[in-house]
Chains A and B, each alone.
Chain A
Amino acid sequence: MANKFELSDSSVVVVIGSGAGGGTLANELAQKGVNVVVLEAGGRHEIEDFVNDEWGSFSQISWLDKRTTSGSWRVAKDFAGLPAWIVKAVGGSTVHWAGASLRFQEHEFKTRTTYGELAGANLLDWPITLAEMEPYYDRAEDKMGVTGTHGIPRLPGNNNYKVLAAGAKKLGYTDFHTGNMAINSQPRDNRGSCQQIGFCFQGCKSGAKWSTLYTEIPKGEETGRLEVRSNAQVLQVQHDDKGLVNGVLYADKDGNQHVQKARVVCVAGNSIESPRLLLNSASSMFPDGLANSSGQVGKNYMRHMTGSVYAIFDKPVHMYRGTTMAGIVRDESKLDTKRGFVGGYEMETLSLGIPFMAAFLDPGGWGKSFASAMEGYDHMAGMWLVGEDMPQETNRITLHASEKDAYGLPVPNVHFDDHANDVAMREHAFGRGSALYDAIGAKRTIHTPPYPSTHNLGTNRMSAEARDGVVNKHGQTHDIKNLFVSDGSQFTTGGAENPTLTIVALAIRQAEFIADQMQKKEI
């Protein structure tokens, strides 16, 4: 198919990636009259292509290109070649995300001020406040149809939620419900309501869950101003002799390389690929990679403190039936340093099918004890623990010294060590998770270590001062005014909340800024 926009068309905005950040930004710009080319490394799998099959879907949509790991985090031992569990497809990780859409709390935008100096933590306040973000959170929630906001009813609680809620009540928690979910509880925005299919992570077969794949992207395409090129792996962002970016080198599905000229480039390839691309774009003018005068590109990699608790009961649960993550206890998300750590965590329902449970319940586990836990599968309830982890300079994405990808470019290495605060928080969360299930008679609880990272954040962080980070409060790189970062790698710190809503809100805000700056001929 011929391209809609010419490769030589230097008036377009090129967006790299089509997930929560890139897909939203691209549509918002197109709606404002801007011509946009989205380059997406993955293929285009529509709703009818999705499969209710954990391993089948995993090989269909996951980002499985070679990556290496290092550091003392358990993922490096359990899943050495799979540091992150994210999507390579049009729609990015909004294809497999669970739908949890939570706003940051006020103090989570100013952690350096609130938490103070914490040894080993590279804490920094965001250059934006909750008050500045609120109008954009509003628009993001409305766009995504988030339950419990804008008069949208919450989802009904499934079996797994009933167990969580009963335990929470028994334990004295007060702030629990079926969540703020970007999943239709009633028909909205030409999409139907949730059918309780239970395969949220495998791509929503009913389209009730918001994904850029079938919301933002087709809406943008309808304007005639947005072109999505799938199977287009970006290799390099190029610049002119004035130090402004002017094009993007990419390989198409047949491996043929092209340069798409650009007026503005927005990088939204998730927190591993985005810094990798900036580093791989090093030139004689920018020997340490693009936008890296601070040396912060790739650093401060965050992946949220995570863990899961699964509990086996006398009576059946069938937790896999219904919306995977429509259930939350928020009491522990508040800041309360008496618990022995800064930050907070959420407790959210989670379920895996038997195939994934075997791989993730106790990675590497076997023997009588493991087998008996699996035999309790239909009597099992589960929760995911997700909380704020500390940014550390040494947790970072680097270019591998010798391993190369199919195009001869260095693959990314993901290095991570838990901060003492992360460890203390996980211990507390495991304890409270077990206590919740024990309160209603669990026969056995199992503490499951982190899965490969689904929340990858912070590797091109926002900062007020150019020396402290990579981008300013608009996601514009400090060094190159027509180069932007539009994904979760902008996050200065991670908050306790699932990040997608904040990524979408930032993308809406960034689109306003870019369109304004283009109109004023600033970029």
Chain B
Amino acid sequence: MRPATSKRNFNRRRFLAGTSAIVAGSAMFATAGGILIGPNAAWAIAPQAITTAEAATLVEMTRALYPHEKLDDAIYAKVVASLDEKAVKDPALKALLQTGAADLKAGKWDDLDADAREAALKAIDTTPFFQTVRGECVTGIYNNPDVWKIYGYEGASAELGGYLHRGFDEITWPDQA
């Protein structure tokens, strides 16, 4: 999988000719050209192994697994893009993702609110499908420097001289606690 801005395997005419459809239950658009586009076209992914509709469901699943209000769908879409990329070379993974997405759909996924989605996932949390998607999220979401910035982790420091002059001991509130 690749960003939609990449021209590789991207048939613009087909994209323009295709009929776009709002993915049920979300603000994502799936095009007949095989592109999944986020709200206001803020991001887009072009799955190669799975369909855009399946990808949209998986994006929602990853958000339900690790629900962070401050994180844009683009963060979750990257996780799905990475899974799809692996699935291109791994037919078993492709089948796992497709069946898993279909099972969620069959469980009226689109109609569920956040709590009900968490409960639906809890019911399948020992399945290989669940574990595969969850495992991908651990690094896919939390090893992303865009996420670090949002939740206050500054990361690499050696090239900046460490934190010696950048607040390693700046807090004072514990002294008054």
Is B127 an interface position by the 8 A CB rule? no
- In the bound assembly, the distance between CA atoms of A280 and B163 in angstroms comes to 46
The reply on B106 being an interface residue by CB < 8 A is no
Residues in A with CB closer than 8 Å to B154 are: 318, 320-321
Partner of A367, one of B118, B164, B174: B118
Q: Are A206 and B139 in contact (CB under 8 A)?
A: no
**Are A374 and B142 in contact, with the CB atoms below 8 A?**
yes
Total residues of chain B contacting the partner, CB 8 A? 42
Chain B contacts for A377, CB-based, 8 A: 151-153
CB of B4 within 8 A of chain A?
Answer: no
Whether a CB of chain B sits under 8 angstroms from the CB of A410 is no
Q: Are A156 and B169 within 8 A (Cβ)?
A: yes
- Asked if B153 and A321 make an inter-chain contact with CB atoms under 8 angstroms apart, the answer reads no
Question: With A196-B163, A367-B118 given, is the CB distance from A318 to B171 under 8 Å?
Answer: yes
Stretch in B7-15, B49-57, B61-69 touching the partner: B61-69
A205 within 8 A of B: yes
Q: How far does the Cβ of B61 sit from chain A's closest Cβ, in whole Å? A: 11
B164 and A55 form a contact (CB under 8 A)? no
B151 touches A374 (CB 8 A): yes
Which residue of chain B has the shortest Cβ distance to A440 in the bound complex? B177
Q: Which residues of A sit under 8 angstroms from B164, Cβ to Cβ?
A: 194-196, 322
With an 8 Å Cβ cutoff, the count of chain A residues facing the other chain is 49
Q: For the complex, what is the distance from the CA of A364 to the CA of B167, rounded to whole Å?
A: 33
**Quick one: which of A156, A162, A357, A367 contacts B142, CB cutoff 8 A?**
A357
In the bound complex, what is the Cα–Cα distance between A316 and B171 (angstroms)?
8
Shortest B168–chain A CB gap in Å is 4
Of residues B151, B166, B173, which shows the largest number of chain A Cβ atoms within 10 Å of its Cβ?
A: B173
Check A53 for interface membership: any CB of B closer than 8 A: yes
The closest CB in chain B to the CB of A204 belongs to B158
Bound Cα distance A213, B82 (Å): 37
| Cβ contact within 8 Å between A366 and B66 | yes
CA distance A15 to B158 in the complex (A): 33
**Cβ of B65 to closest chain A Cβ, rounded Å:** 5
Please name all residues of chain B whose beta carbon is closer than 8 Å to the beta carbon of A159 when the two chains form the complex.
Answer: 167-171
Bound CA span A122–B177, Å? 45
Q: Which of A156, A167, A196, A441 contacts B162 (CB 8 A)?
A: A196
User: Which residues of the other chain, A, contact B125 by a CB distance below 8 angstroms?
Assistant: 366
Residue of B137, B139, B151, B170 touching A378 (CB-CB under 8 A) = B151
Asked if B141 is at the interface of the complex by the 8 Å CB criterion, the answer is yes
Which of chain B's residues 10-37 have a Cβ closer than 8 Å to chain A? none
- Give the chain B neighbours of A162 by CB distance below 8 A: 169, 171, 174-175
Closest beta carbon of chain A to B5's beta carbon, Å: 26
A240–B114 Cα distance when bound, in Å, is 70
Q: Is B138 interfacial (CB-CB < 8 Å)?
A: yes
Hey, which chain B residues are within 8 Å of A368, CB to CB? 67, 114, 118
Q: A353 at interface (Cβ–Cβ under 8 A)? A: yes
Q: B169 contacts which chain A residues (CB < 8 A)?
A: 156-159, 162, 322
Contact of B157 among A163, A198, A370 (CB under 8 A): A198
- Expressed in whole angstroms, the Cα–Cα distance for A513 and B154 within the complex equals 49
Instruction: Assess the A318–B65 pair: CB atoms within 8 A.
Output: no
| Cα of A371 to Cα of B67 in the assembled complex, Å | 6
Is A70 an interface position by the 8 A CB rule? no
Which residues, 64 to 122 on B, are CB-close (under 8 Å) to A? 65-68, 70, 114, 118, 121-122
List chain A residues, Cβ under 8 A from B143. Answer: 54-55, 354-355, 358
CB distance from A195 to the nearest CB of B (A): 3
> In the assembled complex, which residues on chain B have CB atoms less than 8 Å from the CB atom of A353?
148, 153, 155
Main secondary structure of the interface of B (DSSP, over half): loop
Residues of chain A within 8 A of B156, CB atoms compared = 51-53, 199
- B171 contact set on A, CB distance < 8 A: 159, 162-163, 315-318
Given known contacts A170-B177, A197-B162, is B155 in contact with A371 (CB within 8 Å)?
no
- Across the A-B interface, how many residue pairs have beta carbons closer than 8 Å? 140
Q: List the A side residues contacting B167 at CB < 8 Å.
A: 159, 318, 321
Instruction: Select from chain A the residue with minimum beta-carbon distance to B131.
Output: A364
B119 — nearest CB in chain A belongs to which residue?
Answer: A367
Chain A stretch 348-378: residues in CB contact (< 8 A) with chain B:
353-355, 357-359, 364, 366-368, 370-371, 374-375, 377-378
A40-66 contacts to B (CB < 8 Å)? 50-55
Looking at the assembled complex, report how far the CB atom of B142 sits from the nearest CB atom of chain A, in whole angstroms.
Answer: 3
Report if B147 contacts A (CB, 8 A). Answer: yes
A218 to B70, CA, bound (A): 49
What separation, in Å, do the CA atoms of A243 and B122 have in the docked complex? 59
Q: List A contacts of B114 (CB < 8 A).
A: 368
Closest B residue by C-beta to A366: B65
Q: Is B2 part of the contact surface with A, judged by Cβ < 8 Å?
A: no
- In the complex, residue of chain B having the shortest beta-carbon distance to the beta carbon of A170: B177
Specify which chain B residues have a CB less than 8 angstroms from the CB of A374 in the assembled complex.
Answer: 66, 68, 142, 151
Contact (Cβ within 8 A) A198 B68: no
Of all chain A residues, which has the CB nearest B130? A366
**Residue of B157, B162, B170, B175 contacting most chain A CB atoms (<10 Å):** B162
Contact A197 B152 (CB under 8 A): no
By a CB distance below 8 angstroms, the chain B residues around A318 are 152, 154, 167, 170-171
In the complex, which residues of chain B have a beta carbon less than 8 angstroms from the beta carbon of A375? 68, 70, 151
A359–B163 touching, CB < 8 Å: no
Q: Are A52 and B157 in contact (CB under 8 A)?
A: yes
What residues of B have a CB within 8 angstroms of the CB of A501 in the complex? none
Of chain B, the residue at the smallest CB distance from A161 is B169
Q: Which residue of A lies closest to B159 (CB)?
A: A52
Q: Report which of B66, B122, B147 forms a contact with A370, defined as CB distance below 8 A.
A: B66
Name 27 A/B residue pairs within 8 A (Cβ), A-sorted: A162-B175, A170-B177, A194-B164, A195-B158, A195-B162, A196-B163, A197-B158, A198-B163, A198-B168, A199-B156, A199-B157, A206-B158, A206-B162, A315-B173, A321-B167, A322-B163, A353-B155, A358-B138, A359-B138, A366-B121, A367-B67, A367-B118, A374-B66, A375-B151, A377-B152, A378-B151, A378-B152
5 shortest interchain CB distances as A-B pairs: A378-B152, A195-B162, A358-B142, A52-B156, A322-B168
Residue ranges of B at the interface with A (Cβ–Cβ < 8 Å): 65-68, 70, 114, 118, 121-122, 125, 134, 137-139, 141-143, 147-148, 151-159, 161-164, 166-171, 173-175, 177
**Extra contacts besides A156-B169, A321-B157, A358-B142 (15): CB < 8 Å:** A52-B156, A158-B168, A159-B167, A159-B170, A166-B175, A194-B164, A195-B158, A198-B168, A318-B154, A322-B169, A353-B153, A354-B153, A355-B139, A377-B151, A440-B174
